[in-house]
Amino acid sequence: METTVVIVDDFPLARAGIAAALGADPGISVIGEAGAAAEAIERVRELGPDVVLLDLRLGDGGGPELVGALLAAAPAAAVLVLTAIEKVGTMREVREAGAAGCLSKRIAARDLRGAVLTVAGGGTAFDPGEPAGGPPEAASEGTPEVAELLTARQLEVLALVAEGASDAEVAARLSLSPRTVQSHLAAIRARTGMRRRPQLASWAVKHAP
């Protein structure tokens, strides 16, 4: 099965180069592109890719906030950030926003393809230039308590996910819109470091009060 990718970069030439690099792997398929934040959210919502390859800074916005918006638009996607901004703390910021990886644009094409496949499989891919660690420190077992890590509403959403409820079922049972449920799930992923729904369900059972 192919790993599907949407590329988000405000430079057409950069998008073309990234697409060409990914196209060298027959297991990766670029199914869409976007050059602006608003366009990216719509394309990702429409196409539901496995991976969103995101330039951190776009002409109309971007940054860690866009990571969260993309995850809300396609909760099953993994966001892999490519950036030329190598300031201290960048990787921590995008990790906390829910990104599955953050890499320098200096990365070799072969390594980029490997990173895409890694995050598509539920792993992480952070540049070794800054320690990425495991899930955010707050998600480590017992420190702090789960009730301190997530809001009361997020705990309710997580409990229903652990029962196997779909987004629509969670929305109906909690009298929320599906989009609100997806936003809560994006926040939960960011705080726990769990990328996939089965991982979230397992984490919820393990950390149930």
Domains 3-126 and 137-206 share a fold: no
Span between the terminal Cα atoms of the chain, in Å: 38
**CATH number for region 3-126:** 3.40.50.2300
Residue 6 pLDDT > 60: yes
Q: Tokens in use for 125? A: 């891919």
For the chain, the domains span 3-126, 137-206
Could you tell me which of 108, 188, 114, 112 has the C-alpha nearest to residue 156? 188
pLDDT digits (tens, 9 = 90+) for 48-74: 999 999 998 887 777 888 998 999 999
pTM over 0.85: no
CATH topology (fold) of 137-206: Arc Repressor Mutant, subunit A (1.10.10)
pLDDT at position 207 is: 67
Give the integer Cα–Cα distance in Å for 62 and 72: 15
